[in-house]
Amino acid sequence: MSLAANQHIRTVRLYRHTLKTILSWAVDRELWFSEVERVRAEFYKNSNVTDVNQRERLLVKGQEKLREFQHPDPYIVPYRPGGSLYARNPPIEKGLHQQLDFGREDFGH
């Protein structure tokens, strides 16, 4: 893989992680969208940089800025591991029977 392709992948990952970090700080979608527009403009401003060394400096600067703005309690999707609803209901104990038809079954009797 070429250095330019590697830098492109790192840039896309940095952009995605930045958007996820913003979501942790701005739960209100309108505020989130305005922050996303600001970040997108900054990425587009640097999209025409062709010098490999300058790209690397921009990537390192962006990664440092992302680390600086990491949320101490990041948002986690509720049903993902660590989320607020993950494994919320414990499994049913052995020996207990769950009847889902609530007495409306027809056994042909």
Alpha carbon distance 41, 15 (integer Å) = 11
pLDDT classification of 106: cutoffs 50, 70, 90: low
- Amino acid in the structure at residue 104: R
- The string of pLDDT tens digits covering residues 47-76 is 899 899 999 999 999 999 999 999 888 887
Quote the pLDDT of residue 79. 74
Residue 83 reports pLDDT greater than 60: yes
Alpha carbon distance 16, 96 (integer Å) = 45
Domain definitions of the chain by residue range: 1-97
Please tell me the pTM assigned to this model: 0.69
Average pLDDT, the chain: 84
